[in-house]
Structures are given as C-alpha cells and as structure tokens.
Structure 1
Amino acid sequence: MPDLASLRPGDPERVREYQLTGRLGEGGQGTVFLGMSPTGTRVAIKLLRADLAQDEDALERFVREVSTTQRVAPFCTAAVIDTGVEQHRPYIVSEYIDGPTLNAVVAAEGPREGSALHRLAIGTVTALVAIHQAGIVHRDFKPSNVLLASDGPRVIDFGIAKALDQTSTLTAAAIGTPSYMTPEQLAGENAGPPADMFAWGCTMVFAATGQPPFGTDSLPAIFNRIMNMEPDLRAIADPALRDLVGQCLSKDAGRRPTAGEALLRLLGHVGAPGARPDTPGGILAEGSAAAARPASPQAGPGDPQLRQAVPAQTSPHPLEGAARRGRRVQLAIGAGLAVTLVTAAGVALVLRGTAPDRVVSPQATGTRQTTPSPGSTPTPTPTVPVLPHATRTIKLPGSSITLHESDDDAIKLSSYDTEGSDNLYVRKPGTSDFIENGAYFQYAVNASGTQALATDRVYDDGYSVVSVVGRQPGSAKKIKVAKAPVYSFEPQWSPDGTRGLTTLYEVGEDPVEKGGYTFKRYGYAVIDIARKKARVVRLRTEDESVGGYFWRRDGQAIGTWVLTDDTHYIRFYDLQGAVLHTLPDVGVPLSREGEDISPSGTSLVTYCRGNVEEICVWSTDADAKARIRFQFETGGFIGWYDDQHLAGWRRNGGGYEAVVIDFQGQVKRVLAVVADAKEYEKQPMRFSRGS
C-alpha cells in the first residue's frame, strides 16, 4: 500500500457518501485521501484546494470538464468513479490502486531495464491510447502519476490539468511539471495528444536512468534544454525502444508518433509508422527474447537473470501476457484506431475510436454521407447491427394493440395502461402474457427482467410507496418514499440495477378547476434496492424543469430537461442534489424521462434546434454541433432501441405503429400496431430492456 498517513485536524471525515480513512498524499492541486464507498470498496478521493474555486460557474465548468474522464476505458488507468463538489471544493473519486508510484520505485530500487522496462512501456502507452480515444489529453503525465500495481502499471490524474486550465477562475496554480513539459507548451501553444507522447518519452527515460532527460535544476536551464538540446538516450539498451522514445521527444509535435502507433511498434507490428525495417520483431521481439532466455545452471530464486526471465507471480497485463506466450496478436487499425488483441485464453481487449461527425441527407436512400469534422481523419462507418425479425405476434388484452416481437429484441413492452394510468397491465416475467394489475400506477422492469419498480396506488400512513416486485407472487417489498402531499412518479432503475429513482411532485387542489389538481416539481428520491430505503432530495430551483428526472448512464448523477425562452438543456445533479454540469443548447427534447440518452451513454437524441421536423444525434460531451441529423416524423418517442437505432411511434392509416429506425430515418422493424388513434392517445406503453 502507498504511504498512508492519519487524517489531520481540519480534514473532513466524509466526502458525500464516502468515508475518509487516511491521507495518501498532498500536492499543489489538493489532497488525496483513502476512502471507503458505501459498499465497502476502497477508493481514492482527490479533494481540490478550496482557494481554487472562485465562483459557482467556474465550479460547474470544472466538474463538467473533469467528469468526461469517466468515459476512459479502465484498463491500465485508475477508473474515475465519481466527480462533484463538496463544500465548494471539487472532488474526484477514482479506483484505489494499491501500489507505489514509479517515482518511488525508481528512487528505492533503481532504474528499470529489460522486460520490466518493456512491461512499463506497453502498459503506460496503452493507458494513453485509452485516454486519447476518449478525447482527453492527460497534460500531466509523469512518474508520480504512474502507479505500479500488482497487475501492471496504472496511469492516474488524467484530464485534471486541462480542466483547471480551461476553467480560468479555478486556476491559480502552474499546469504541468517543468521537467515533463513540451516545447509547444513553453511556446504558449495548446497541448494536445502529442504533448502526452513527449511526456511519456521523458518518463521512459526517467524509468531507465533515474533522471528526466532535460534535468531537474533551475527552470531556465530545464526550459532551454527542452527547447534547444537533444536528450541523451544511451541508457536505453534496446535500440527499438530507444528509437521510439527519441521520436516521442521530437521538438516538432507533428513528428511524434500517436499513442496507437507507439503501441503497435511496442507490439512489433511491422507496418507501424516509423517502425525500423531492420527490426521486424521490434521491441516485442526483444521482450519475448528476454522472457524466453534460459537461466544459467547456477541460477537460484534470487538470481537477477532468473527474475527477469520468469513471468511475475501476479497476473500480467493482457498485452504483455499475449506477447510473452507468443500468440498471434490481431490488430485492426483505422483513423479511429480499433485495436483488438486476442489471447490464448480467449480474452479480447478492444479500443474503439469515435466516428467522425456526419450529416445524413434527408433525401438519402440507403447511402450514408459522411462529413468529417474539421481536423479529423475519415473513419470507416461503424458496423450497424442487424435487427432480429419478429417471430411472434401478441394481441394485448383490453386493447387493439398487436405486438410484433422476437426473443432477441433489445427492448420489449413491459407494461401498458388502457385508461391513462387507471387500468395497468404488466407482463408476466419470461412470458408473452400480460395481466391486469390494480395495485400500481406505473411499473418499470430492470435490465435483467428479474425485478420491477412500481408506484403503489395505496399510500402507507400518508406516505407514497414504491414497491420492489420480484418474479414470484407475493415477493413485493414496499418502501416508504415521501409524505403526502408529495408523491412518487416515473420509477426508473439505475444502470447497474442497484438503485431506483422516482420523480417527486407536490400535489395540491387546483384553485380554478373544481376537483382538479396541481402538480409542482419537488425533487427526486434515490432508492437503495438492497437496503429497501429511499432518500428524498428536494430541489429548490427556479429552473423551468420539465418531465421526470433520469439517471446519467454511469449511475452517478441525475438529469432533467430545463427549458427557457432562449434554449433547452439538460442539467445534471449529484445524488444529493448539488449541480454538477449541463449539456447546453442541444435542441428540443423528444422525451423527458431520459430515453433521449443512448444505452452506452455516449449519444443524445433530440429534435434539432429550430426544426422539430428533423432529428439530431449529439455527443453527450456537449459538442457544438450535431453528429447526425435526419428527417423522421414521429408521433411519440419510445427511446433508443440500441446504440445505432431509435424507436418511436408514427401514424399508420387510422392508427399508429411503433417502429425501429436507423440514422437515415429508414424504418427497419415494426414493434407494435395500435389500430385506433384515439386508443393510442390514452394508452401509455412502457418498453424496457428486461422482459
């Protein structure tokens, strides 16, 4: 375990739901604590300095920027779990890595060499591939941000420097570490992914020598060497690795290899850009030779040559393991970089690139027209999954609805109502049968189809109740949520199925319409499924929020649509009600219960800005323009069928039909048909990913 110190007087005991147990370190940006999640998992919590935050807008911008790190694939990095603000201080919760920093290991044990250096190079550059593929630049890559865990190196603190730099009122501290800064940074230019490759090269030199390549003395001397001097790389014994590091340390950012190209060269891919023709095996061959080199007859357990030749006792990094065993490594490379490595055990590690922005012509008849974003490289159109054909029809009781289903459908109808929430029918688990149920208003099935969240019609001691309903009759567990006149509606499951969410409304008598009611937004309730407890979060806000609250796809935030005279946006809150970030000006909502966000959480669908006859698909990173736009007239949006298809209702003669469409607006499947248009208008239907 890294050095752990006791909490000091004045240190917080908790950050939101995380209990702090000790200090892991402190730096210019803030303090890192060891913490415990509510489930008992150890986490690392970085609490930034209070004096870095000067206004609420800056805090929101910082949290919005740093929350993008949660989409980085967790292999070879410490996964970011949560971000937010606690008592005006931003915090970042990440996976706890039990291991020392590269800085500490080199100081204690000396420089790395041979297979140890090869493993370090492969693991850290793989982390940079994942970080860059998520559209993030580390900007502070250095030995102290590399942890040497038992299962290989892990890179930490990615994206924080950029978040500080882009949030002007938050940054009063220097961004970057002098010995690992790039010529372009010193020249006042923006630091992109090539800056990370320069810092990676510096880190490899440090690992091999114990010193960064441009020294550690005075700042003027360091900066002069970075700008004008060539580094001494003679300590890196392997010529292929030495060449790669040398190219990464080029003064010209355009001459540095990308992280993906560096990874290919580390794996010995002959066609990798910059690979030396006289070393077809590249660095991988040298590493494999080191692993296969026989030990001397006199070698014993403590012999250095044997320690270098025998694989570590802990599980190897999957890339390094595949290389050591000599298995074929399959790589498919495009502008978006897709790297698939298949080991003998059948484990596949996949890095997927992001397709470029594209605009689909409304007149398209099967050909997708792709327009790359400025500065991007054209990427092959991603494979669109083939939809299953309907294998059965189901006539729903009490209605004119006919379903057209397949067992392989990504979504299925789980409940419907024939009289606008007065006559609920729910699906019998694992069957095609729907049974009338008078106990509940609304009914939402989880992704596995094993449980449902239902809002009860009968209140308990003046409290609205949500039931967790199992597959077996009589298995429902009732949970008191909020006391009247506050009531729960629109139940939803968290993405991991461990929590529920309901939107709370304060209900009153309508002063105008006799016998009528008014509904005022109150907040939301987060339900702990295992503990059968609900936590009510009241939001006092002037926002003109509409519709229900919904989960962000990582399950760490709650979103809602906010409509103003000038714009529409989604605002995200943490689980305690603090504002985290917004997705600004992304069009008009198709739905207001969260179905706008794709299953993977990477895309958002709306009506396009200023044109409700056109549908736009946006990145959830709040890009400035829609990635895709197409025409489709819908009478009601159901949600995403999968990441490449949408589901919605459209007029069909005198009735409606639910259809699946692709990103050209072409109908690919019919899911359901309602013969009577008037019946459709009073029949709420809920499709779920569980059956």
Structure 2
Amino acid sequence: MPDLAPLRPGDPERVGEYRLAGRLGEGGQGTVFLGVSPTGARVAVKLLRADLAQDEKALERFVREVSTTRRVAPFCTAAVIDTGVDQHRPYTISEYIDGPTLDAVVATEGPREGSALHRLAIGTVTALVAIHQAGIVHRDFKPSNVLLAPDGPRVIDFGIAKALDRTSTLTKATIGTPSYMTPEHLSGEKVGSSADMFAWGCTMVFAATGRPPFGTDSLPAIFNRIINLEPDLRAITDPALRELVGQCLAKDAALRPSAEEALLRLLGHASGASSPTAPRGILAEGSAAAAQPAGSDVHSSHRQAGPGHPQRGPSHRQAVSQLHGGPLDHPSSLPSPYPAEGAARRGRGVRLSIGAGLAVTLATAAGIALASRGAKPDRVVSAQTTGTQQAATSQPGGPTSTPMISALPQATRTIKLPDGSITLYENDDDPLKLNSYSTDRGENLYVRTPGTGDFIKNDRYIHYTVNASGTQALATDRLYDGDHYSVVSVVDRRPGSAKKTKIRIAKTPVYPFEPEWSPDGTHGLTTLYEVGGGTNETEPYTFKKYGYAIIDIAGKKADIVRVKRNDESTGSYFWRRDGQAIGTWVLTDKTAHIRFYDLRGTVLQNLPDIGIPLSEGGESLSPSGTSLVTYCRGTPEEVCVRSTDADLEAQIRVPFDTRWFIGWYDDRHIAGWRRKGGGYEAVVIDFEGQVKRVLADAKEDEKKTMRFSRGR
C-alpha cells in the first residue's frame, strides 16, 4: 500500500457515505484520501479544491462531466464509482489501486527499460484506448496519474481536467501539467484525444530517462521547447517503441497515431492499421498485460563492432575498399549544375568525393543567379535491338548452363545501350526497369523514351527517375532559375505529352541530388547539399549535408527539412517503405546503422549495428520493407539478409561477391554487378547465391550510373 498519512486538522472525516481513513496524496487539483465504503471496501476519494468551481451551476456541470467517465471500460484504468459535491467541494470516488505512482517508482528505483518499459507502454496505451472509446479525453496524462499495481499499470484521473476546463476559475493554460502539455494546448487550440497521445509519449520518455522530454525548469523555457524543439529519444532502445513515441510527440496533432493504432503496433501489428472493430476485439480479451506476446523482452541494440566494421569512421567507399583489398569505384555519380557566369567558367568543374564516395562534378558561381542559357536540343540515339537473350546464366570467367527458374520472367529482348558497351536483357514483367543512366562520370545523361528501348541524351537534367506506373519522372535541373533557386522538374511521360512542371527546391548554394518517388507516388524526395568554395580556379568545392526536401507533386511545392544533427550520415536520403519516414545511412567509428526521420526531421528509429551497406541509398531495403541486405561482417564475398525489426541478427548469409548493388528484384531475390571475365554482369540471385537471371553485361567497368526504377 502507498504511504498513508493521517488526516490533518480541517480534513473532513467523511465524504458522502465514505469514511476517510487517511491521506494518499495531494496535488494542484485537490487531495486524495483512502476511503472506506459502508460495506468495508476500500476506495480512492479525490476531494477537489473549493476554489476550482465558480458557482452552483459550475459544480453541477463538473459532476455531469465527470460522471461520463463511468462509461470507461475497466481495462488498465481505475474505475470511477461515483461523483458528487460535498460542502461545496466536488469529489470523485474511484476504485482503489494498491500501488505506487510511476513517478515515485522511477524516483526510487530508476528508469524503466527492456520488457518492463514495453509492458508499461502496452498497459497505459490500453487504458487510453478504453478512455477514448468512451468519448473521454484524459487531458492530464502524466506519470503521477499512472499507478503500478501488482497486476499491471492503471491510469487514473481521466476526464477531470476537461471538467475543470469548463467550470474552473483557473485559466485554460494552467489546467494540466506544463511538462506534458501539447503545442496546440499552449496555442489555445482545441485539444482532443491526440493530446493524450502526446502526453503518453512524454510519459514514456520520463519512464525511460527519469526526466520529462521538455524539462522541468521555468514555464517559458518548457513551453518554448514544447513548441519549437524536438526531444531526445535515444534512451528508448527498442526501435519500434522509439519510433512510436516519436510519432506521438509530433508537433502537428494530425500526425500522431491514435491509441488504437499505437496498441496494435505494440502488440506486433507492424502496419499499425486499425479498423473500427479491431481495438474493441483486443480489449474484449482482457487486460493488455495478458495480451502481451510472450518473449517480448526488449534487448539492447548496441553491440560491439565485429570484423569488417569501420574502425575510424571511414566512408562507405573506404570501408568497402578495405573489404575488397583495393580501391573501389562507386557506380553513382553526381554531376553539377552549370553556371551561366561567363563562358570561360562554364566548363570548369572540380571532381570531389561526397561522404559516401560519390564522384561529383560541380561548377562554380554558387550564390550568383544562373541564367537560362540556351539548352541544346535532345539528341535521339536509337538502341540497337539484337534479338533475344539466351536462357542461360553465367559465372565469373565464362558462361555456364545454369537454368533460370520459371518463377522469374526470362528476357525477351536485348538492348545495346548508346555510348558504351552495356547490353540490357529485359522482359516486360521485370519488376526493375532501367529508365536512365549516365556516362563520363555523370556528364552525360541518357533518358529512356516511354514504351521503347530508345535512350535519349538529355542535357537539361542531372538525375532522372521514373515512378512505378511509368507516367511521370522526377528530374533535377542542371541550372538554377533566374531567382537563384534549384529546380526539380516533374516530367509527364505519357504518350503525346510534353508537359513539365518545375518545382523550386532551395536557394543557392543548396542543391538537390538523387530524387526518388514515395512508395505511393504522391511525393518526391531529394537529398540536399550545401555547396561552398570554388570562388577561384584553384579552390576546391566543399559539400555539406544540408537535409532533404519533400516534394508535394499535386501541390507543386517542396518542404525543406534542415537536418541539423551532426550524424555523420553518408549517401542519399531515402523513403522507408511505408512512406512515413525518411532514412539515411550513418557510419560512426564503431557501427553502421540506418537512422529514420519523420517527414519533419524528428528522429524516429535507428536500425543499429547492421553491417557495411551495399548501397548508401534505399536499395538495401526490400520492397516490403521487412528485410535489408548488407555486407556480412569480415568478408566481401557474402551478403547478409536481416530483418528490419528489433532483432537485427543476420537471418541468411548469401554467397555473392558483388561490386555494385542494384537493389532487390523482389522480396526473395537481389540484383547486383559482379565480375565476368574481363568485364561485368548484372545478375539476379536467390538467397542460396544461385544466379536466376542476367539483367545486363558490360565489357569493362565504365563507371556508369544506372537508375533502375521499380515498375514500368
């Protein structure tokens, strides 16, 4: 039993029909007593301060408001038994919970972690499901309103804050606990159930750290952090729980998940999708503690670096080069926008490696308006169609008779690419299709004509990537516009259309690279670099990771997300497969991991210590988003397939000595380049390392950038 203090002078001996046996606690709203009913049952009696209601009508409204809480199902809550007014003081009678508050336990025993934190999360969010299904908003969810009973956590005092909000003489801003208030509450906006999810996220951070996420000092400082700053969630080591808490702490209430969605995710439903009946079905089975999956202990995700991990924070290029025992050229290259400031400077470029070892040719005049110099007309180069590929695959050193399996589509046409030696072997049913590629370290871009095997040399763009339906492409323009803005064009690829929509991204010297489509095709994403230096012929350019831009295709606008965190990220930003987060690879002195941000730049999740990436973009993630592939520790001749959930131990080791990773062909096959005699071939392999399909071959390594798109 919590500490029971004796009654003080002036305390009533009875409230209604309940005899008061002692004090359980006192807060800003009033005092909680241990009460005893006429039958001897123990109850919690909360007697509110007399000054919290203005008049008799206010008291009546309070009683009506609080009486609605009796509808709340008794799942992880302290049931409300009665409410009324005694000597002009409103009161509530609740089920007595024999257990300390969460803040008291954290103060004496320290923060929660592992399975204890996970059980706390499930129990408390189950309580919010029950509260919200009754049409109630807690409005004052916090650690002192969570009791840790022997049978699991219980949430108390739901609905009282809302009742006081309508009847109290206090201002709205003071009803609630400052450290757990929401941005919309502080702005005077309407507060709904999403505010409880924000407070729940704050409470989970407190449980994991012993501190509220926005501090406990002065009110102005707390309110400023709530409105403007993002919390530090690193203490929550379970990636799934950390992601959920981060989403609950979104500044925009519309971006927070509901309690039902949160509960389903905590119970192992990865999508978090809910139906009108699903949460009620879950609650009908019993308490959340009983519904918790067995073996749900959360293990620490920090492991010691193994053989093959970078030891002093090298780039991906350096790390893979070390694995392979020699220099390695990355296939991705980023050419530059050309300046319009004088013909003498137009052709000047400086080659530079950006973080991930991407070869970049960038011109000068960052900060100077770039005029629209006359674009050269596109030069059409028809591909040479030579026939149908033989249904055979090959091993390094020459062809073999390894048959293709019928599950994968066989090539029905052979296409010789212009300006080089690469040959494609294609089928209309291939889930990956080449739609653009670059030569001469990115100086020349070739774009596929829709519905054909012809590739057009294009001088307007640097990168070009096609959506899944094949109807549109995102292309980064080589030139800043007249107002010094970099531009991404949305190109209509439908037959007979020449429509191009130009969307401004960022003002010089910030420039976008590597555009890609969101999984649902409604948005685009580009990685932003801040370009510096290059003010004279001898000064090299510098490139600093700036953040990313989310492009609203229908709205024809871009939102810039400045990632200020110094996270040593490398390569481009990429979409998580659900389209709700943005990922980037992070290499430190001991680990390599993927960090996910929400669409506003808040850190949501880390996939920690997962090995050196095969690719510095999103190609490592499977189409379903459930798996990823990296180099196995200690060897460049095996790749490891891993789960993207909390258990990141390698599930499958695949023998595959690849030099350039293309991506996942489907969820059971991956594609990449490997040596073949004096040249290279792009192959599709299964998880046993068996080659099932050849996508392309080349006589030599020509350092091309080949952008395979998923879809048409």
Range into which the TM-score falls when normalised by the shorter chain: 0.5 to 0.7
2:485 to 440, 463, 488: 463
Q: Which residue of 2 aligns with 1:501?
A: 525
CA contact (8 A) 2:250 2:256 kept: no
Distance 1:684 1:20, change over 3 A: farther
What SS does structure 2 have at the residue aligned with 1:86?
coil
In the aligned structure 2, how far is the partner of 1:447 from the partner of 1:401? 24
Q: CA deviation at 1:542?
A: 2.2
CA contact (8 A) 1:584 1:622 kept: no
What SS does structure 2 have at the residue aligned with 1:588?
coil
In the aligned structure 2, how far is the partner of 1:395 from the partner of 1:179? 64
CA contact (8 A) 1:385 1:644 kept: no
Q: CA deviation at 1:386?
A: 1.1
1:61 to 236, 242, 246: 236
Structural mapping, 1:39-438, within 5 Å: 49=203, 54=211, 58=233, 61=236, 64-66=239-241, 83-86=247-250, 92-94=256-258, 134=269, 149=276, 153-155=277-279, 180=287, 192-193=293-294, 386-438=407-459
2:196 to 14, 21, 31: 31
Q: CA deviation at 1:403?
A: 0.6
CA contact (8 A) 1:549 1:593 kept: yes
In the aligned structure 1, how far is the partner of 2:285 from the partner of 2:696? 62
In the aligned structure 1, how far is the partner of 2:629 from the partner of 2:579? 19
Q: CA deviation at 1:88?
A: 13
CA contact (8 A) 2:525 2:548 kept: yes
Distance 1:91 1:58, change over 3 A: farther
Q: Which residue of 2 aligns with 1:162?
A: none
1:449 to 470, 477, 484: 470
CA contact (8 A) 2:546 2:563 kept: yes
- Tell me how large the CA RMSD over aligned residues is: 4.2
1:623 to 647, 655, 659: 647
What SS does structure 2 have at the residue aligned with 1:565?
coil
CA deviations on 1:466-488 (whole Å, 9 max, x unpaired) are 11111144311001101111100
In the aligned structure 2, how far is the partner of 1:390 from the partner of 1:434? 19
In the aligned structure 2, how far is the partner of 1:67 from the partner of 1:47? 9
Q: Which residue of 2 aligns with 1:603?
A: 627
What SS does structure 2 have at the residue aligned with 1:399?
coil
CA deviations on 1:87-137 (whole Å, 9 max, x unpaired) are 69998414989xxxxxxxxxxxxxxxxxxxxxxxxxxxxx99x9867489x
In the aligned structure 2, how far is the partner of 1:430 from the partner of 1:60? 51
What SS does structure 1 have at the residue aligned with 2:241?
helix
Distance 1:181 1:526, change over 3 A: closer
Opposite residue 402 of structure 1, the aligned amino acid is: T
In the aligned structure 2, how far is the partner of 1:458 from the partner of 1:656? 34
CA deviations on 1:549-587 (whole Å, 9 max, x unpaired) are 111111111111111111111111111111111000000
In the aligned structure 2, how far is the partner of 1:178 from the partner of 1:645? 40
In the aligned structure 2, how far is the partner of 1:483 from the partner of 1:392? 44
Distance 1:194 1:689, change over 3 A: closer
What SS does structure 2 have at the residue aligned with 1:501?
strand
CA deviations on 1:292-320 (whole Å, 9 max, x unpaired) are xxxxxxxxxxxxxxxxxxxxxxxxxxxxx
Name the TM-score, length of structure 2 as normaliser.
Answer: 0.51
Q: Which residue of 2 aligns with 1:585?
A: 609
Distance 1:572 1:465, change over 3 A: same
Opposite residue 250 of structure 2, the aligned amino acid is: E
In the aligned structure 2, how far is the partner of 1:147 from the partner of 1:132? 12
Q: Does 1:3 align with 2:135?
A: yes
> Can you give the 5+ residue segments of structure 1 that lack an aligned partner in the other structure?
34-44, 70-79, 98-126, 139-145, 159-175, 196-383
Distance 1:13 1:385, change over 3 A: farther
In the aligned structure 1, how far is the partner of 2:274 from the partner of 2:409? 45
In the aligned structure 1, how far is the partner of 2:240 from the partner of 2:268? 16
CA contact (8 A) 2:197 2:257 kept: no
CA contact (8 A) 2:550 2:558 kept: yes
Q: CA deviation at 1:635?
A: 1.4
Q: CA deviation at 1:390?
A: 0.3
Opposite residue 502 of structure 1, the aligned amino acid is: T
- Bigger RCO of structures 1 and 2 (CA < 8 A, at least 6 apart): 2
Q: Which residue of 2 aligns with 1:594?
A: 618
CA deviations on 1:178-220 (whole Å, 9 max, x unpaired) are 98377xx8xxxx953599xxxxxxxxxxxxxxxxxxxxxxxxx
Distance 1:132 1:476, change over 3 A: same
Distance 1:562 1:407, change over 3 A: same
CA deviations on 1:374-395 (whole Å, 9 max, x unpaired) are xxxxxxxxxx981100001011
Q: Which residue of 2 aligns with 1:664?
A: 688
Q: CA deviation at 1:541?
A: 2.2
Opposite residue 576 of structure 2, the aligned amino acid is: R
What SS does structure 2 have at the residue aligned with 1:627?
strand
* Corresponding residue pairs, total: 409
What SS does structure 2 have at the residue aligned with 1:540?
coil
In the aligned structure 2, how far is the partner of 1:529 from the partner of 1:428? 22
In the aligned structure 2, how far is the partner of 1:148 from the partner of 1:389? 41
Opposite residue 154 of structure 1, the aligned amino acid is: A
Q: CA deviation at 1:658?
A: 0.8
In the aligned structure 1, how far is the partner of 2:235 from the partner of 2:518? 23
CA contact (8 A) 1:60 1:581 kept: no
> Can you give the 5+ residue segments of structure 2 that lack an aligned partner in the other structure?
1-132, 140-161, 166-171, 174-180, 214-230, 297-404
Distance 1:157 1:553, change over 3 A: farther
In the aligned structure 2, how far is the partner of 1:422 from the partner of 1:625? 41
Distance 1:181 1:551, change over 3 A: closer
CA contact (8 A) 1:12 1:20 kept: no
In the aligned structure 2, how far is the partner of 1:612 from the partner of 1:594? 20
In the aligned structure 2, how far is the partner of 1:643 from the partner of 1:650? 20
Distance 1:564 1:385, change over 3 A: farther
Q: CA deviation at 1:67?
A: 6.7
Pick which of 392-401 and 546-555 moved more: 392-401
Distance 1:62 1:88, change over 3 A: farther
In the aligned structure 1, how far is the partner of 2:418 from the partner of 2:489? 24
Q: CA deviation at 1:663?
A: 0.7
CA contact (8 A) 1:85 1:578 kept: no
CA contact (8 A) 2:239 2:646 kept: no
Distance 1:483 1:511, change over 3 A: closer
CA deviations on 1:617-669 (whole Å, 9 max, x unpaired) are 11011414101112211110001110000010011122211110111111110
Q: Which residue of 2 aligns with 1:120?
A: none
CA contact (8 A) 1:46 1:91 kept: no
Opposite residue 65 of structure 1, the aligned amino acid is: A
Q: CA deviation at 1:31?
A: 1.4
Q: Which residue of 2 aligns with 1:640?
A: 664
In the aligned structure 2, how far is the partner of 1:135 from the partner of 1:555? 14
Q: Which residue of 2 aligns with 1:560?
A: 584
CA deviations on 1:519-560 (whole Å, 9 max, x unpaired) are 111111111111011111111222211100111111111111
CA contact (8 A) 1:639 1:648 kept: yes
